[in-house]
C-alpha cells in the first residue's frame, strides 16, 4: 500500500499497491516527502506538489500535465520523457533534474510550462521540448541548452 506523508507527518494519501494504479488527478500533495521514490508513469495530471521533496525521484514517463511543482525540490530527479505541459515549476529546485531525451528518443515535454523563477543552470535539458508558450527565466536561451522548440496548444480538460 502506498502511503504519502508531508514534512509534518500528516498522511496525505493512502491507496493503491503500485504507482501504475495511482491517479493523482488534482490531489493535494503539498510538502509530500517523496525523496527517491520510483513512480515511473505516475498520473500526476493537475496534482498539487507545492513544496514537495522529490529529490532523486524517478518520474520517467510521468504525466504531470498542469501539475503544480511550485517550490518543490526536484534535484537530480529523472523526468525523461515526462509530459509536463502547462506545469508550474516556480521557485522549484531543478539542479540536476534530467529532462533529456529518453531511450525511446523523446525529450520531456515542457510545452507551456512556467519555469520563470526556477534555476535551470544545472538542469539537464538537451532534447527537452518546449513551445512559444513556455515561460523561461529572464535571459535564458533554451537553444543554448539544446532544447527543441515545437508548435503546441494547451490541452483542455
Residues 85 and 61: beta-carbon distance below 8 Å: no
pLDDT tens-digit series, residues 3-17? 788 778 888 877 766
More confident residue, 35 or 152: 35
Give the number of C-alpha atoms closer than 13 A to the C-alpha of residue 88, restricted to the C-beta side: 15
> For residue 89, is pLDDT > 80?
yes
> For residue 1, is pLDDT > 80?
no
pLDDT score of 156:
57
Q: Give the span between the Cα atoms of 130 and 99, in whole angstroms.
A: 11
pLDDT band of residue 46 (cuts 50, 70, 90) is very high
- pTM over the 0.85 mark: yes
Q: What is the CATH number of the domain that holds 107?
A: 2.160.20
> For residue 81, is pLDDT > 90?
yes
pLDDT score of 18:
65
Helix spans in 78-151 (H):
none
Residues 35 and 16: beta-carbon distance below 8 Å: no
Mean pLDDT of the chain: 90
More confident residue, 1 or 35: 35
Q: Return the C-alpha cell found at 144.
A: 543554448
Total tally of structural domains belonging to the chain: 1
Range of the domain at 116: 1-157
> For residue 86, is pLDDT > 60?
yes
> For residue 88, is pLDDT > 80?
yes
**What percent of the chain shows pLDDT beyond 90?**
67
74 contacts: CB under 8 Å, gap ≥ 6: 54, 55, 57, 89, 92, 93, 94, 97
What would the mean pLDDT of 38-48 be, rounded to a whole number? Answer: 89
Amino acid at each position: 500500500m502506498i502511503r504519502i506523508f508531508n514534512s509534518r507527518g500528516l498522511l496525505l494519501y493512502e491507496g493503491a499497491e503500485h504507482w501504475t494504479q495511482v491517479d493523482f488527478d488534482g490531489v493535494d500533495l503539498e510538502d509530500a516527502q517523496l525523496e527517491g521514490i520510483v513512480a515511473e508513469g505516475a498520473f500526476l495530471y493537475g496534482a498539487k506538489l507545492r513544496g514537495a521533496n522529490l529529490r532523486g525521484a524517478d518520474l520517467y514517463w510521468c504525466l504531470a500535465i498542469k501539475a503544480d511543482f511550485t517550490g518543490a525540490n526536484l534535484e537530480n530527479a529523472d523526468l525523461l520523457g515526462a509530459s509536463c505541459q502547462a506545469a508550474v515549476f516556480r521557485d522549484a529546485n531543478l539542479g540536476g533534474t534530467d529532462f533529456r531525451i529518453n531511450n525511446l528518443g523523446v525529450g520531456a515535454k515542457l510545452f507551456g510550462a512556467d519555469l520563470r523563477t526556477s534555476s535551470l543552470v544545472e538542469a539537464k535539458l538537451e532534447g527537452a521540448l518546449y513551445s512559444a508558450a513556455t515561460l523561461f527565466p529572464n535571459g535564458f536561451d533554451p537553444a543554448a541548452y539544446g532544447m527543441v522548440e515545437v508548435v503546441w496548444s494547451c490541452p483542455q480538460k
